Structure 1
């Protein structure tokens, strides 16, 4: 478990106003158990940085002027999360309190001819989203980016078999030049795991295997409460190796009885025995691979995301039944459906930006990332066919 360092008084004051709501100096002093003078000094710093503003004061019944109340100025800036894929690009705008204010989807980068055109399209998607929300680029404090590939700590793509034109390209630097703010880039499945840990089904669970099962199988790891990158930033890029029968270069799933997973699932539901046999074999192999990963990492939870994760009666339920047979252990590891669905990586990108660039977002070095609040979820979860 991650043990946080003690926060400064300025950060503690800002954190209280951000997450608990408006307060007076006396209320902050009592809640934080620090002197009034220390709080006054912190409030001066936060006011000078425009991170707090005066809150409306309700008149009380007593005599005299009501105490001055402060509130966190969430609208002072914006943090952007971008999830880049060949089929879609998702852009999320959040205020400084972590509330998502805008969420948009655009066509993916696959149709664009080369790496430069793909990047230009992504930049245009972000600019369109900001313009639609009447937010100037100058208000963007940081950008988090999710993309398919191995990414180093500076934002350079070491290798991407999905967007090969970006292999060797410093995407983080390109976006920093375009928007004039810090940019944090990481692998999409890893950031989906970050999102499920920060605001999804794996909150408060510090050791998590996140497995994305869709057209491909890919993995993200949360160990000790932190995303595991590894010395070469390749930790978790194991789907193509841990699960037999996949394309060994891309992790792509091949189906024998139909062209796509959606068609195999539909045929099995319609009573096609060959399709059902193929699905049963796939689930058994999936359970075998998950068992191998489980014995390697010993997680507290396994989260299944990706396009097939909503297929309870056809995938998750039989997978839960098959996994103990492969593990052969006297305990069970919970296996849960991801909560954030296709939006996980974009939300994880927002979290990543807050975590990596707190000093730029807040002007405070030790300010923790906020609890991200997504937009209300639209009804009716899509079926596996709709997600393909």
Structure 2
């Protein structure tokens, strides 16, 4: 026998209504939620005490007498932070309690010659600077989500990272919680980029997604039933060295031969360089072989290509689609599209992760639901 879900408490329903529909009077709230004015007034009292709701400016009176008192969701009562930590950049995104991004910044990546402790201090400073630049006191932080390149367990401990090996074994959560005095959650960057594309980008409203980051390395993020797949050992998606032939067997690094970077290989190929054209054709074929293997394993509704090589857009996607169809060899056609959030995907994914994992701490009352995220720019233009 299945248990019936407990009804949502009225204070939560009121807070959600004010968050999603804007300021309202007691009468308007009672009418919208089909409850009595007395019940609304009692619940509003608790919300006012918690600071989640405040008085709103009164509307212009339509007749004689004082205008009715109005109430609004206190979106600026706290801040949730998303951070993407990498070797080349550290990106910070700050959102209010309504999920609206109010500031974002990019700083230099981790100092390669520093030890793990110094690198953690660097991340703390970047987050602190971002908040100060936005005029946000650190005391308003409600939760911080962190994205990083590596295998992360359920507690947020870094098990292994080729990119940041100095962080393995360090209790990053404890250090950041001490610095900011709020809950800290950490997960793999490609997984969180997949989450961001699912919520905001190319895979929005699609619940079975294979996200592939193709940059210096190849890694995957999987969305099953609308949720990011971690796996029993927290390694779901760490498939670059296994599923894609020709990568560095230890690090998964893509090593280009005809030029110093992928961008240069594409440019030389377009200029007619035969060696670059051959290397690019071989790379696309090997990438397609790996994608076809994954598609036939998990059968996603869509494949999203992110990472640095996604900037090549149709120059990569057109031959890739053709090669994947050839390798699959069956009458199925899985859409293969470019990611929309660019380099900011993982930071936005970390922000979404923080809202979902720390929901009670963010709002201070149980059973609240995370807000839809509103980036500073539409997803189509972020990172363009």
TM-score, length-scaled by structure 2: 0.94
Residue 257 of structure 2 aligns to a residue whose secondary structure is coil
Residue 310 of structure 2 aligns to a residue whose secondary structure is coil
Which residue does 1:259 correspond to in 2? 260
Q: How does 1:185-264 map to 2 (within 5 A)?
A: 185-264=186-265
CA shift at 1:7, angstroms? 3.6
Residue 234 of structure 1 aligns to a residue whose secondary structure is coil
CA contact (8 A) 1:155 1:173 kept: no
CA contact (8 A) 2:341 2:379 kept: no
Which residue does 1:364 correspond to in 2? 365
Q: Does 1:134 align with 2:135?
A: yes
Q: Does 1:53 align with 2:54?
A: yes
CA contact (8 A) 1:100 1:374 kept: yes
Q: How does 1:88-107 map to 2 (within 5 A)?
A: 88-107=89-108
CA shift at 1:287, angstroms? 1.2
CA shift at 1:378, angstroms? 11
CA contact (8 A) 2:209 2:301 kept: yes
Which residue does 2:269 correspond to in 1? 268
Unaligned runs of 5+ in 2: none
Q: 1:143 to 1:279 in 2, by over 3 A?
A: same
CA contact (8 A) 2:29 2:40 kept: yes
| Cα distance between partner residues in 2 of 1:251 and 1:35 | 62
Which residue does 2:72 correspond to in 1? 71
CA contact (8 A) 1:211 1:218 kept: yes
Which residue does 2:153 correspond to in 1? 152
CA contact (8 A) 1:52 1:73 kept: yes
Q: 1:287 to 1:71 in 2, by over 3 A?
A: same
Which piece of structure 1 moves more, 220-229 or 363-372?
A: 363-372
Unaligned runs of 5+ in 1: 384-388
Q: How does 1:255-334 map to 2 (within 5 A)?
A: 255-334=256-335
Deviations 1:183-236 (Å, cap 9, x if unpaired)? Answer: 010000011011111121211111111100111111111111111111111111
| Cα distance between partner residues in 2 of 1:16 and 1:273 | 61
| Cα distance between partner residues in 2 of 1:93 and 1:381 | 15
| Cα distance between partner residues in 1 of 2:379 and 2:354 | 25
CA shift at 1:153, angstroms? 1.4
CA shift at 1:112, angstroms? 4.0
Q: 1:287 to 1:360 in 2, by over 3 A?
A: same
| Cα distance between partner residues in 2 of 1:314 and 1:6 | 52
Q: 1:246 to 1:80 in 2, by over 3 A?
A: same
Residue 94 of structure 2 aligns to a residue whose secondary structure is strand
CA contact (8 A) 1:197 1:203 kept: yes
CA shift at 1:329, angstroms? 3.0
CA shift at 1:285, angstroms? 1.2
Which residue does 1:386 correspond to in 2? none
Deviations 1:220-259 (Å, cap 9, x if unpaired)? Answer: 1111111111111111111221111111222211112122
Which piece of structure 1 moves more, 128-137 or 99-108?
A: 128-137
- Would you identify which runs of 4 or more consecutive aligned residues in structure 1 move more than 4 Å? 377-383
Q: 1:353 to 1:59 in 2, by over 3 A?
A: same
Q: How does 1:164-175 map to 2 (within 5 A)?
A: 164-175=165-176
Deviations 1:58-100 (Å, cap 9, x if unpaired)? Answer: 2232333332221111110111111000011011111111111
Which piece of structure 1 moves more, 352-361 or 325-334?
A: 325-334
CA shift at 1:377, angstroms? 6.1
| Cα distance between partner residues in 2 of 1:111 and 1:162 | 10
Which piece of structure 1 moves more, 27-36 or 293-302?
A: 27-36
| Cα distance between partner residues in 2 of 1:81 and 1:275 | 38
CA shift at 1:307, angstroms? 0.6
CA contact (8 A) 1:87 1:110 kept: no
CA shift at 1:134, angstroms? 2.0
Which residue does 2:125 correspond to in 1? 124
CA shift at 1:8, angstroms? 3.1
Residue 309 of structure 2 aligns to a residue whose secondary structure is coil
Q: 1:144 to 1:342 in 2, by over 3 A?
A: same
